Structure 1
Amino acid sequence: MIKQVLLISGIFIFLAIQPLSAQIITDNQRVEEQLLASTKQLNQFFSRFNGEEDTRGREFEPDDRQYRNSRLRKRYLSILFDEENAGFSESLFQEFVDRVTSDADPVFLSLRSDNWFAVVNTTFAYKGKSVPLTLYMQIQQEGLGYEWVISDLSFEPYKSLFNKQRGQTKEFLHPMSHELDFMNLRKAMVKNGSPESYTLADFKPDFLTLFLYEVKMGHLVFETVNRVNFHFFTVDGWYFSLSNFNRPGYNTGWLISDLLKINAQQKQDLLKLLYDKN
């Protein structure tokens, strides 16, 4: 009798454990699949965009039939877009995919590609306060390799620092100042004055040089990087940007968050907007 009770109890315990174990295995598999599907690194995005890696992270050799296969790329490209906040239509997405996977003229990405750059939103300490400062980074060749370099920046305190006066309100040096040995330069070189008013008509301040000087002098002190985005003009007639999404599910990591079809003028306008030059 006792043996029967123990046997029956054991069966119940076994049956109770079975679904739990299966659930744990299923959950682990789901987490693993999500991690594999996530495009965690920028290099991984490039490989998947180019059809050089599958969704499980396995790289294809160049002699593999699947390497850069256009049909495979069309399937992989669909997981490289932000599906939750896409601000573009299905038809635009399909047109872009057809363009970059064209058999006659396919487009592949490379770290050494032209017409792409990073926008790095940072925080610096400046005059006793933590302030936002945007750096624009791009890849350049250096020796036998490549490196990221700062190409430009946007910093609110610099924007109004050299607001040059125009028209009748503009300060100027009299055309006969040479007869005074330019001693009237004194009025141009005063603290809180407007020395930029005495420069060439096409003068444009070099904010990058000013930034580097202030960093070297300790006036600007780096604190942290807050956000990074990548902007691509590598596909002729198109623009897209990458953002990093850290969220549950399969649609995570580096994903295309913006997609636009643009002409030459729209490209220039968009570059001005992105570089905060308007």
Structure 2
Amino acid sequence: MRFTLITLAILLANISIVSAQGIGSGGTIKDDGRFAASTKQLNQFFRRFNAEESPDGNTRFYPGDSLYHNRPLRQGFIQILFDNQTSSVSKDLKTQFINTVLSDGYPQYLNFHRTGWFSEVQAEFIFKGKREKVTLILKLQPEGLGYEWVIDAVSFPPFKNLFNKPVGDEKDFLHPLSHELGFMNLRRAFQDSKMPEAFTGNAFHPDYLTLFLYEMKQNNLRFSTVNEVKFHFFQIEGWYFEVSQFNRPGFNTGWLISNLVKLNPGDKETIQQYIYDQK
């Protein structure tokens, strides 16, 4: 009986067809059901994924409540947390994912304060008078008694070709007996060469974030606006999914799963490297 009521409540929240918005008593906005169906905030995405709020969004559930982490409620919620209009995620893949998350022996939940998820922000900056697109990667870290978002990495096209380190026969080098000359031949690296990065070690990787902040401190780089925000999750063992915001008519709106990948060994690192785009 409980399963039937929960399922019915979720379905009603998604298929009720009423006027878009009305005015309640006292001039307040009266929600028509779409507001409850839409996952309006990312925090609500967490609560719905874990079954920590009621289908209408008005009641929070806590440990000890009968519906807290309730399996049928979670199943209904997760089904509506997918972008079911434009995403190419197959029905079979969704089913596999939901079965993994709702496993009786090992149910898995999202944790806001745990590692394994981060944000990708598409922004615009003015760099030396020219508008440029910038990708910022942000993550949560503990700070004092709470948490804060911090910039973890940046991908900035003007920096991409600054350090094209040559390899093989094209690479210039310092002779292994340079120490006998007191390294006076460093002139080759710092004065004669247009690619001083050629003289760095094999493990050298430019720190684009430091360069980015340096240009800001030199007043060469100025923030303009944010164009898009999405979130990447690796907290569910063996899976990766992306959450994006959809603002459109209908009920399948708000923060929804826009991409889903079942991970094979090595896939997690490959996806993270692609997102961070540091090479």
Common fold: TM-score over 0.5: yes
- Distance of 1:108 and 1:235 partners within structure 2: 7
Who is 2:42 aligned against? 42
Secondary structure (helix, strand or coil) at the match of 1:150 reads strand
Instruction: State the distance in 2 between where 1:258 and 1:103 align.
Output: 25
Percent identical residues = 49
More helix by share: 1
Partners in 1 of 2:90 and 2:238 — Cα distance?
Answer: 17
CA distance change for structure 1 residues 55 and 173 in 2, over 3 Å: closer, same or farther? same
The residue number in structure 2 matching 1:174 is: 175
Aligned-partner Cα distance in 2 for 1:50–1:133: 33
Q: Which residue of 1 aligns with 2:142?
A: 141
Structure 2: stretches of 5+ with no match in the other structure = 1-17, 23-29
Q: Is the 8 A contact 2:71 2:102 kept in 1?
A: yes
1:73 aligns with 2:74: yes
Max radius of gyration: which structure? 1
- Pairing of 1:21-170 with structure 2 (within 5 A): 26-28=19-21, 32-58=32-58, 59-170=60-171
- In 1, distance between residues paired with 2:121 and 2:20? 36
In 1, distance between residues paired with 2:223 and 2:21? 40
* Cα deviation code 1:112-141 (max 9, x no counterpart): 122111111111111210101111111111
| SS of structure 2 residue aligned to 1:32 | coil
Q: Is the 8 A contact 2:138 2:151 kept in 1?
A: yes
Aligned to 1:244: 245
| Shift in Å, 1:175 | 3.7
Contact (CA 8 Å) 2:19, 2:32: kept in 1 or not? no
Moved more, 38-47 or 51-60: 51-60
- Given that residues 116 and 138 in structure 1 are in contact (C-alpha distance below 8 angstroms), is that contact kept between their aligned partners in structure 2? yes
Once residues 270 and 87 of structure 2 are traced to their aligned partners in structure 1, the CA distance between those partners, rounded to angstroms, is: 22
Between the aligned partners of 2:55 and 2:251, the Cα distance in structure 1 is 11
Amino acid at match of 2:47: S
Preserved contact between residue 70 and residue 102 of structure 1 (Cα < 8 Å): no
Unaligned runs of 5+ in 1: 1-24
What is the CA–CA distance in structure 1 between the aligned matches of 2:124 and 2:167, rounded to whole Å? Answer: 34
In the other structure, the counterpart of 1:20 is none
Task: Give the Å deviation of 1:176.
Answer: 4.1
2:184 is the alignment partner of 1:189? no
Post-superposition offset of 1:174: 3.4
Q: Residue by residue, what CA displacement relative to the aligned partner does 1:217-273 show, whole Å, maximum 9, x if unpaired?
A: 222211111101100010010111000000011110000001111122122222222
1:265 and 1:189 map into 2 onto residues whose CA distance is: 39
Q: Which moved more, 1:149-158 or 1:58-67?
A: 58-67
**Alpha-carbon distance in 2 for matches of 1:180, 1:127:** 42
- Give the TM-score taking structure 1 as reference length: 0.85
What is the CA distance between 1:53 and its match in structure 2? 1.0
**1:119–1:135 CA contact under 8 A, matched in 2:** yes
C-alpha RMSD of the superposition: 2.0
What's the offset of the Cα at 1:194? 0.9
In structure 2, distance between residues paired with 1:28 and 1:172: 70
Amino acid of the structure 1 residue aligned with 2:151: I
Counterpart of 2:72 in structure 1: which amino acid?
A: R
After superposition, the C-alpha distances for 1:145-186 in whole angstroms (9 at most, x for unaligned) are: 111111111111212111111122212233444454433323
User: What is the rounded CA distance, in whole Å, between the counterparts of 1:100 and 1:40 in structure 2?
Assistant: 22
